[in-house]
Homo-oligomer: A and B are copies of this chain.
Amino acid sequence: MIKKVHHVAIAVKNMDEALKLYEDIFGIKPSKIETVPQQGVKAALLPMSEGGEIELLEPIDQESGVAKFIESRGEGIHHICLEVENVDQELCMLADKGVQLIDKQGRTGLAGKIGFLHPKSTKGVLIELVQKDIKEKG
């Protein structure tokens, strides 16, 4: 079951410029900035005070999905992430329903255990599922 919109991810060319923009216009600061080598990105999470986050993604590998996204479409909204109770269980149920998946099993991501659905099955929308780390729950 989907619990909530966990974050909206935005592909940016330059993380420092993007962080400055969101702080200047909205006063939002990052809670976490990390390099995620397996996804070829530097990522920052910008939480809102009452719920939901913006995730900024800067490619550090020109072969990464985010680099290719920016090359073909420019900077912009890259994916949405929905929070679930159990990501493996959810991916298994989706596979049973015939939904195409990028990840058949959950793997470690910036916000917890994650898995991506293929946009071919979701009308062009790249959807990530996340199961929050227990230490971050609440």
Contact = CB atoms under 8 A, between A and B. Distances in A.
Contacts of A17: 123
Given A24-B97, A25-B94, A51-B51, A123 B18 contact: yes
Copies in the complex: 2
B25 A97 contact: yes
The range of chain A's interface size is 35 or more
A39 to B, nearest CB: 18
Interface in A67-103: 73-77, 79-80, 82-83, 94, 97, 99
Nearest to A97: B25
Given A18-B123, A52-B52, A123-B10, A1 B24 contact: no
A107 interface: no
A32 interface: no
